[in-house]
Amino acid sequence: MKARKIRIGIIGLGRIAPQHFDVAIRGNNEFELVAVCDIQQDKLERIASEQQVTAYSDYQQLINDPNVDVVTICTPNHLHLPMAKEVAAAGKHCILEKPVTQTLQETTELIELFHSAHCMLFPVLQVRFSPTVKTLKDLMDTRGLGTLVSAAMVIRWTRPQKYYDESKWRGSHALDGGSLLSQAIHYLDIMQYVLGKPRDIYASIKTMTLDIETEDTAHALFEYESGLAVTFEFTVATYPHNLECSLTLIG
């Protein structure tokens, strides 16, 4: 007998949502998009019609829809925790856009809730599954680079003022959490995935050019038990386009 597809419902139809229903779901024969939710009625009706799925303006109704197996949350950062908690309470699995939450304490709380509910919580950290990262991870696991003596991560991106002005939650301490959480998180995840957790971190964050509450630039030094030191440079204030995103390992 043919296995039933996993039925997905998406909350939040902003700029990242098409990556979910056009790439992650439509491109996987095991998934089926069955419902979407957004507070902007015109957008909701248009996308629901295009995708031929059920439309909800109330996210709780989508979560409790018996035809939804997995809930994907693509909302502004400050909504991740309360919405994901309701998914866990409903006993459903959750695909959660990064960042999971805005604090370590909140993330720990959420993990415990999903563990207690015997459900899975999947943070969207897809970059670690890229072929390049897989090759690098295999090299590290087999000591293919020998003893690492130096490493550096550089992220020089642009997020112009217009990007933040388009959505007022972006760049807000309370609603966003900062550029490190929203932008650098994929590559900080890769660094930890490949190299492990550092022993000590020395860091500074600054707002250099953008008119936002949170940082647009950061520098850090990560020190490991082995003696390895990793320098970290990050900014979203380059102009007029992204310049670089790299992890350099010397062994």
Nearest in space to 61 (alpha carbons), one of 71, 51, 52 = 71
User: How many Å apart are CA 80 and CA 101, to the nearest integer?
Assistant: 6
The residue assigned the tokens 């998406």 is 10
Q: Which pLDDT tens digit goes with each residue over 41-94?
A: 999 999 999 999 999 999 999 999 999 999 999 999 999 999 999 999 999 999
Task: Give the SS3 label for residue 165.
Answer: helix
User: How many Å apart are CA 140 and CA 251, to the nearest integer?
Assistant: 10
Q: CATH topology for 6-124?
A: Rossmann fold (3.40.50)
Nearest in space to 9 (alpha carbons), one of 29, 30, 35 = 35
Residue 23 confidence (pLDDT) above 80: no
**Do the Cβ atoms of 176 and 236 come closer than 8 Å?**
no
Cα of 115 vs its chain's centroid, Å:
20
pTM of the model: 0.91
Sorted by where each begins, the domain ranges of the chain are: 6-124, 127-250
pLDDT at 79: 97
Q: Report phi then psi at 139, rounded to 5.
A: -60, -45
| Cα→Cα distances 246→184, 200, 208, Å | 12, 22, 22
Task: Give the SS3 label for residue 170.
Answer: coil
* Choice between 172 and 115, residue whose per-residue pLDDT is larger: 115
Q: Which pLDDT tens digit goes with each residue over 176-227?
A: 889 999 999 999 999 999 999 999 999 999 999 999 999 999 999 999 999 9
User: How many Å apart are CA 40 and CA 199, to the nearest integer?
Assistant: 45
User: How many Å apart are CA 25 and CA 98, to the nearest integer?
Assistant: 18
> For the chain, what is the mean pLDDT?
94
Q: Tell me which long-range contacts 172-177 makes (C-beta under 8 A, separation of at least 24).
A: 172/212, 172/213, 172/214, 173/213, 173/214, 174/78, 175/76, 175/77, 175/78, 176/76, 176/77, 176/78, 176/214, 177/77, 177/78, 177/99, 177/102, 177/214
Q: Report phi then psi at 35, rounded to 5.
A: -155, 150
Tokens of 71: 């809930």
Q: Which helix (H) or strand (E) holds 36?
A: strand 31-37
pLDDT at 1: 57
Q: Region 117-133: what's the mean pLDDT?
A: 95
**Do the Cβ atoms of 128 and 190 come closer than 8 Å?**
yes
Tokens of 12: 């939040």
| Bridge partners of residue 193, in order along the sequence | none
Write down the CATH superfamily of domain 127-250. Answer: Dihydrodipicolinate Reductase; domain 2 (3.30.360.10)
User: How many Å apart are CA 153 and CA 175, to the nearest integer?
Assistant: 27
What percentage of the chain reaches a pLDDT higher than 70? 99
